[in-house]
Structure 1
Amino acid sequence: MHINPYGRDPVLLAVELVNDPPSSLAELVERCLGAGLVREWEPVPADLTAVRAFLDRWTAVVDAEPGPGRAHLLNALLAEGTGPPRLTDHDGHWHLHHRDDDLGLAGVLHALIATGTATHLVTRGMDRLGRCAAPGCERVFADVSRNGRRRYCSARCGNTDAVRRHRGAQRPPEPTGELTGAAAGRSSRARA
């Protein structure tokens, strides 16, 4: 299986790697292969550091306001990590590469994630990356929903926040020391 550089696969892999960073090179390789990345490279220790640095820069794209600022940051990643598109059949079927063939794992991920993110944003909308709206949650998400209104990293965060807001709306107001309503009327009659 090939990871699709034109769809959501590389973006979802980036989200996964940002939200749950790999602790070792072996874990990074395992997760990339599990996501469908075809192994055309031999991992080296520097790959883990390079991928972490790239993901920090990718996270800046997520945190940027949708529009020109986000496009500028992503264009820089594209310029640094991708090459001219070209056809290749290295594994028996024709497909496009947006990178050189001799890249290591970090370079391949840079090219795939940058290209996939650009495609994700231009086909789904420049606002389709974000941070979870739940208080205290810093996780990122890629909005691949139909309606494009995702605000949370997971259904769990969305449900937890909905319960928190519901309970907040159900609480009686905090006493301010001022009497209101019927209690104010009783108090004024008692003074008279």
Structure 2
Amino acid sequence: MVFAYDSEMALRAAVELVNTAEEPDTLGSVADLDDLWARFGYTGRHDRTPAELEAVRALRPQLRELLTADRDGVVVLLNHLLSQVTLRPVLVRHDDYDWHLHAVDPEDPLADRIRVETVMAMIDVVRADELSRLSVCADDTCDGVVLDLSRNRSRRYCSTTCGNRNAVAAYRARRAE
């Protein structure tokens, strides 16, 4: 494991959230948001309203900028985002998860909690000098974000779809020669 469990889950969730903005947009309904909320083990307030959905959707460009910034740029963004929130860190243990950090009140809006959890995880990334684990998809037709948690740092595509598309294209190019 490269990062603590809570940081890894926050990074996975942020990358998936950002990638929902790729065509076709896969965060179009409250049910889609419910699915994201459940899959990534969020706790606390979840209003299940169109307003909450729009607030989370509006967060995607900011998270994308954060996840794809260079080392100096990401520090500027992190410091800016930290200056905008009141952190109330507390160690918690719930469900099947051992002690981990929640940095804001569980009754804060979901979009705010996602933003802060991503910021806290990105602080770990910067401190561990592991920004190379985040990149943009190697598929020329895709702008998805890639989180590479593999041991050999070999992940190049944001999804199996992009990886398969490129493998098929390379195969066809070899066959055409």
Task: State the alpha-carbon separation in 2 of the partners of residues 156 and 98 from structure 1.
Answer: 35
Matched, 1:78 2:88: no
Deviation at 1:83, TM superposition (A): 0.7
Deviation at 1:87, TM superposition (A): 3.6
Task: State the alpha-carbon separation in 2 of the partners of residues 36 and 70 from structure 1.
Answer: 26
Matched, 1:99 2:101: no
Count how many residue pairs are aligned between Structure 1 and Structure 2.
Answer: 166
1:7-22 counterparts in 2 under 5 A? 7-20=7-20, 21-22=26-27
Deviation at 1:125, TM superposition (A): 0.6
Task: State the alpha-carbon separation in 1 of the partners of residues 94 and 9 from structure 2.
Answer: 20
Task: State the alpha-carbon separation in 2 of the partners of residues 34 and 99 from structure 1.
Answer: 20
Identity score, percent: 34
- Secondary structure in 2 aligned to 1:130? strand
Deviation at 1:8, TM superposition (A): 1.3
- Equivalent AA in structure 1 for residue 83 of structure 2: A
Matched, 1:25 2:30: yes
- Secondary structure in 2 aligned to 1:7? helix
TM-score (ref. length: structure 1)? 0.70
Query: In the alignment, what sits opposite 2:63?
Result: 58
Deviation at 1:95, TM superposition (A): 4.3
Residues 42 and 164 of structure 1: is their aligned pair in 2 closer, same or farther, counting only changes over 3 Å? closer
Task: State the alpha-carbon separation in 2 of the partners of residues 78 and 169 from structure 1.
Answer: 50
Query: In the alignment, what sits opposite 2:23?
Result: none
1:146-185 counterparts in 2 under 5 A? 146-165=151-170, 167-168=172-173, 171=176
Query: In the alignment, what sits opposite 2:71?
Result: 67
**Residues 42-80 of structure 1, C-alpha deviation per residue, up to 9 Å, x if partnerless?**
41443222212222101112332x310122223323333
Structure 2 spans left out of the alignment, 5+ residues: 21-25
Residues 118 and 148 of structure 1: is their aligned pair in 2 closer, same or farther, counting only changes over 3 Å? farther
Query: In the alignment, what sits opposite 1:181?
Result: none
Deviation at 1:84, TM superposition (A): 4.5
1:119-158 counterparts in 2 under 5 A? 119-123=124-128, 125-158=130-163
- Equivalent AA in structure 1 for residue 13 of structure 2: L
Task: State the alpha-carbon separation in 2 of the partners of residues 82 and 117 from structure 1.
Answer: 17
What RMSD, in angstroms, separates the aligned Cα atoms of the two structures?
2.9
Task: State the alpha-carbon separation in 2 of the partners of residues 10 and 162 from structure 1.
Answer: 30
Deviation at 1:163, TM superposition (A): 4.1
Does the 8 Å CA contact 1:5/1:112 hold for their aligned counterparts?
A: no
Deviation at 1:129, TM superposition (A): 1.4
**Residues 16-67 of structure 1, C-alpha deviation per residue, up to 9 Å, x if partnerless?**
22222421234313321232112x2141443222212222101112332x31
Structure 1 spans left out of the alignment, 5+ residues: 173-192
- Equivalent AA in structure 2 for residue 80 of structure 1: Q
Task: State the alpha-carbon separation in 2 of the partners of residues 82 and 142 from structure 1.
Answer: 28
TM-score (ref. length: structure 2)? 0.74
Task: State the alpha-carbon separation in 2 of the partners of residues 154 and 88 from structure 1.
Answer: 32
- Secondary structure in 2 aligned to 1:37? coil
